[in-house]
Structure 1
Amino acid sequence: MNRTRTAIRTTYYSLATNLVLAVIKGLAGFFGNSYALIADAIESTTDVFSSLLVLFGLTYAKRPADKNHPYGHGKIEPLITFIVVAFLVTSATVIAYESIQNIQTPHELPQPWTLLVLGAIIVWKELSYRIVIKKSKQTHSSVLRAEAWHHRSDAITSITAFIGISIALFLGKGFETADDWAALFASGFILYNSYLIFRPALGEIMDEHRYDDLMLQIRKISLEVEGIKGTEKCYIRKAGMYYHIDLHARVDGNISVTEGHDLAHQLQDRLKQKVSGIGHVLIHIEPYTT
């Protein structure tokens, strides 16, 4: 439950950050004649809704296991991640369309002070990324990882806006659309980032094996239990913030069923004690003969 509380608190931070920045970017873009900033505001607005979805997903995922969900409700996390990705793709499409329209329409140069706003936003968003990605690693939350990458993509799109506005201001008349081109480039980056977020979530839904390091750790710890002679099959799947383990352990084939049963429980206890984020552990005993 500590993991869930940490993830929920982090999501509240993201929600507040995105809400404040959406307002700041929108106002700065409107009064500063910068569509790159307005495009950034559009992305931050979609981030507000995605943060609400993340909050819902984390709250739902903390429900305890029940008769219909014996492994808990953690699979809601990658499902929410898919919806978050859909928000990102939608915002990228809107930004690209509006950028193309603005490129074709004459308009004034952006105001120089918009660069100061963007500079502050870039620093703020990069710090937010570092905070949230650290919490996602602590909690093993895929949806929180997606939330972190929202902050990083926002920082990078702000960098492209900064470059575009700088070009427009430095080169002057005839380069008014430089920040629109920057927004168009940013939309492409958002789409690419959407794939990076989508791919791990898809693997989690499909129970794809992506946990070689954890598997090696489990095999090593298993040999620390007296009576465990080795391991065979090891299957790992992730649901929410927890890893569920199916492990075949080898024991002396001459011991009793009761002794084998006791060894299985000792191994379960050792794994849960030593490995962070372990959920269900199923041990299948195999006979070991010399």
Structure 2
Amino acid sequence: MSKSKLAIRTVIFSMIGNAALAAIKFLAGFFGNSFALIADSIESLLDVFASILVLIGLRYAARPADENHPYGHGKAEPLITFLVVGFLIISAATIAYQSIQNIQSPHPGPKNWTLLVLGAIIIWKEISFQWVLARSKKLKSSSLKAEAWHHRSDAITSVAAFFGILVAVFGGEGYEAADDYAALVAVGFILYNCYRIFRPALGEVMDEDNHVELTAEIRKIALTVHGVQETEKCYIRKAGMIYHVDLHAHVDGELTVREGHDIAHDLQDTLRRNLPELGHVLIHIEPSE
């Protein structure tokens, strides 16, 4: 199965899970008198729309290179990540606003059984986070990483809601708003996760070269090619799940143009064979001193 298809299946899994959880949280919050659960359901519902955006971005990024996009469409992936971060910020703002409104208005305390619902949700969201994050690392996908942190932020809000409801239930009268305060604490964690998702995606759009391990691997493989004496500049740009490379290689300065050309092609083929995640590989031949 191709990387793009595997990524798309992962997002569809997230969409189905988030849609089901949004319904469960809302019903449990409505009948269990817990605004923290209702706020949590709002975030899960926004996560469904965010997953749809990620799915659209992955499908577009998987398009092959064409005349107008010689390097492919991979840059669509971090752009979609920005939209996902926007959804996270909207959900954080929504939860914060409704929590403050609820704190100012007296309301009944949450029911005991909502703790059981939240416990099951927390376990499920953490499992989902670990699974999607592992996929994002395997596929080197920034949008899948954003999708994974959606699950973690959802788990965090659920943990905050759990402790808030716990205090409200066992604290009794006067502690009814504890789950609303817990929702406000969760907002801070969500905004922190927004930064963690946004920063790498911004670096990808700006062609930030921080691929230290991949650079070292490229240099190591290059020296195994016959005729390559050393490497000089090595620039890497990430576009979706593909890495484009510009590499300067030193060869014997007495070689003919054709011989240098053959070494360049041999080097290019060797790198692509050993590192399938590479896209365009541009080799610049330098005469060795």
TM more than 0.5: yes
Q: Percent of aligned pairs with the same residue?
A: 65
After TM superposition, list the pairs within 5 Å mapping 1:186-265 onto structure 2: 186-265=186-265
The one-letter amino acid paired with 1:59 is: R
Further displaced range: 264-273 or 64-73: 264-273
The amino acid across from 2:21 in the alignment is L
Matched, 1:275 2:278: no
Structure 1: gaps spanning 5 or more residues: none
**Residue 28 of structure 1 corresponds to which residue in structure 2?**
28
Unaligned runs of 5+ in 2: none
Residues 105-140 of structure 1: CA deviation (Å, up to 9, x unaligned): 111110111000000000100110111111111111
Tell me the residue number matched to 2:131.
Answer: 131
Question: Could you tell me how far apart the structure 1 residues matched to 2:90 and 2:285 are?
Answer: 50
Which residue in the other structure is 1:48 paired with?
48
**Residue identity matched to 1:150:** H
Q: TM-score, normalised by structure 2?
A: 0.99
CA distance in 2, matches of 1:176, 1:260: 76
| Superposed CA RMSD | 0.8
| SS, match of residue 173 in structure 1 | coil
Counterpart contact for 1:140–1:277, Cα < 8 Å: no
Q: AA paired with 1:288?
A: S
TM-score in terms of structure 1 length: 0.98
Counterpart residue identity of residue 200, structure 2: P
Q: What is the rounded CA distance, in whole Å, between the counterparts of 1:215 and 1:17 in structure 2?
A: 38
State the match for 1:178 in structure 2.
178
2:263, 2:91 → 1: CA distance? 54
Per-residue CA deviation, residues 155-212 of structure 1 (Å, 9 max, x unaligned), is 1111111111111111111100000000111112111111111110000000011211
Hey, what's the Cα distance between the residues in 2 that align with 1:46 and 1:210? Answer: 32
Q: Give the 3-state SS of the residue equivalent to 2:244 in structure 1.
A: strand
In structure 1, give the amino acid aligned to 2:48: V
Output the CA distance in 2 between the equivalents of 1:276 and 1:262: 21
- The amino acid that maps onto 2:134 is K
Letter in 2 for 1:161: A
Report how far residue 270 of structure 1 moved: 1.1
1:231-255 CA distance string (max 9 Å, x none):
0000001001000000000111111
CA offsets per residue over residues 59-79 of structure 1, 9 Å max, x none? Answer: 111111001000000000011
- Correspondence for 1:108: 108
Aligned counterparts of 2:40 and 2:114: Cα–Cα separation in 1: 12
- Name the counterpart of 1:70: 70
Letter in structure 2 aligned against 1:153: S
CA positional deviation for 1:276: 3.8
Aligned to 1:165: 165
Deviates more, 1:113-122 or 1:272-281: 272-281
The match for 1:58 is 58
Structure 1 runs (4+) deviating above 4 angstroms are none
